[in-house]
Amino acid sequence: MRIYKEFTFEGAHFLPSAPEGHPNGRIHGHSFRVRVSVDGEPDPETGLLVHFDDMKAALEDARGTLDHNFLNDIAGLENPTLELISRWLWDRLHNRVQGLAEIAISRDTCGEGCVYSGPDTSAH
């Protein structure tokens, strides 16, 4: 079974890897939508996989760091692509959200997104 909780944040950034003259190389902003998914089986007594209030508390810390900030100034987000933001979120949430399965992030105005299911451990 999979449940999810979503949150949004507003953030400004630029992409240092953008080609010379490309608009993404200049500071601009986006409205981001994040979906955090958890896999598991519901507790037989409560019927809950995870209490949404517990998820919200964990997510609010990450959201507070990102919301209305210049993403390039956040440690680990010096190159704030969707891919690296999703990994940054995973790194902050995987120890706080039991059963974390997936982080999906999109920019509301661009029709683009990234889905991250955690680090690839097959090489170990």
Encode pLDDT of 83-95 as tens digits: 999 999 999 999 9
Residue 109: predicted pLDDT: 75
CA–CA distance, 88 with 93 (Å, rounded to integer):
9
DSSP one-letter code for 38: E
Beta strands in 43-120 (DSSP E): 69-70, 100-107, 112-116
Asked if 65 and 74 count as a contact pair (C-beta separation under 8 A), the reply is yes
Q: What is the pTM of this model?
A: 0.92
CA–CA distance, 106 with 81 (Å, rounded to integer):
11
Q: Which domains does the chain have, with CATH numbers?
A: 2-116 (3.30.479.10)
Q: How many CB atoms lie within 10 A of CB 121?
A: 6
Residue 120: predicted pLDDT: 79
Q: List the chain pLDDT tens, one digit each, 124 residues.
A: 999 999 999 999 999 999 999 999 999 999 999 999 999 999 999 999 999 999 999 999 999 999 999 999 999 999 999 999 999 999 999 999 999 999 999 987 778 999 999 987 665 5
